Structure 1
Amino acid sequence: ARYAARHLSGRRKARMKRLTQKDEQGNWCLEGVPWEQLHEGQVITKYLRERLYGALWKLMEYEDTGLAPEEIKALNANGKTSEHRWIPVEERLPEDREDVLVCTKKGWILVAWYGPRGKRWHIALSDACMIHEDIAAWQPLPEPYRPEE
């Protein structure tokens, strides 16, 4: 029997490092660059040029997404809804025999269902089963792909 699995060892969702910071007076500035260094007439040092270029590059990448800040916030909020998040097994278990994605404590992602009587996770499409302690979290399967009409 075959089943899909993915291992997440060491792979974490990258978070964008902030490009801005507030100084002691509450002024926004480029991270690592004092506000005074951005005033008119100041010399643009190699360090400042590299910081400005890096910030402009990140701005270009953001603009290339074509998304407005509100759309990005909505996407982030969507990803945090109960329907699309990992649910620790200590919090709750899925419905009886419902196919779900599970994440093992070693980082493997599998399709499985939980059999409450035997208190075991059953790997979908195989005879293998895992004891409850091997599974760290689960989440519902996504909706199947449907071409736009």
Structure 2
Amino acid sequence: MKRLTQKDEQGNWCLEGVPWEQLHEGQVITKYLRERLYGALWKLMEYEDTGLAPEEIKALNANGKTSEHRWIPVEERLPEDREDVLVCTKKGWILVAWYGPRGKRWHIALSDACMIHEDIAAWQPLPEPYRPEE
């Protein structure tokens, strides 16, 4: 990912491409500055939406994994209601399931079966579907 911050000649951190002085009180917010600030806030929002701390992201990067492709323990957090995800049971089975909005039930995709919450160890989002080259 391209950095949004940089150090100026005096060693002050600033938004990349925006002189530090342009962020002082009383300065006019130009269209360029507004777009740079909005872009930085958008990236911050995306980061915060991961729910991960900086240390967790560093650990994922060190292991060659991204947050989209790791097993998330159910104790850490649950998926959105009715979102299809991969689940790993405590017996090691991997299934496609969704978490029910009421009660503690995981509903197995393409089946009438369900499992209780305590049977599931972790989950992760589904990968992108296969798309043949066009």
- TM-score normalised to the size of structure 2? 0.52
* Structure 1 gap ranges (5+): 1-15
Give the Cα–Cα distance (whole angstroms) in 1 for the partners of residues 49 and 85 of structure 2.
34
Give the Cα–Cα distance (whole angstroms) in 2 for the partners of residues 121 and 136 of structure 1.
12
Bigger relative contact order (CA 8 A; separation at least 6): 1
Give the Cα–Cα distance (whole angstroms) in 2 for the partners of residues 83 and 117 of structure 1.
26
Instruction: Please list every run of at least 4 consecutive aligned residues from structure 1 whose deviation after the TM superposition is greater than 3 angstroms.
Output: 16-79
> CA, structure 1 residues 136+23, in 2 after alignment: closer, same or farther (shift >3 Å)?
farther
Equivalent position SS for 1:92: coil
- The CA RMSD over aligned residues, in Å, is 14.4
Give the Cα–Cα distance (whole angstroms) in 2 for the partners of residues 109 and 103 of structure 1.
5
Give the Cα–Cα distance (whole angstroms) in 1 for the partners of residues 35 and 80 of structure 2.
54
- TM-score normalised to the size of structure 1? 0.47
> CA, structure 1 residues 100+67, in 2 after alignment: closer, same or farther (shift >3 Å)?
closer
Could you tell me which residue of structure 2 aligns to residue 108 of structure 1? 93
8 Å Cα contact 2:60-2:66 kept in structure 1: no
Q: How many Å apart are 1:147 and its aligned residue?
A: 1.9
8 Å Cα contact 1:104-1:137 kept in structure 2: yes
Give the Cα–Cα distance (whole angstroms) in 1 for the partners of residues 38 and 80 of structure 2.
52
> CA, structure 1 residues 34+94, in 2 after alignment: closer, same or farther (shift >3 Å)?
closer
Q: How many Å apart are 1:69 and its aligned residue?
A: 24
- Of stretches 113-122 and 67-76 in structure 1, the one that deviates more from structure 2 is 67-76
> CA, structure 1 residues 25+111, in 2 after alignment: closer, same or farther (shift >3 Å)?
same
8 Å Cα contact 1:78-1:84 kept in structure 2: no
8 Å Cα contact 1:79-1:85 kept in structure 2: no
Aligned length: 134
- Structure whose alpha-carbon radius of gyration is higher: 1
Percent identity for Structure 1 against Structure 2: 100
8 Å Cα contact 1:97-1:115 kept in structure 2: yes
> CA, structure 1 residues 142+17, in 2 after alignment: closer, same or farther (shift >3 Å)?
closer
Q: Are residue 126 (structure 1) and residue 96 (structure 2) matched? A: no
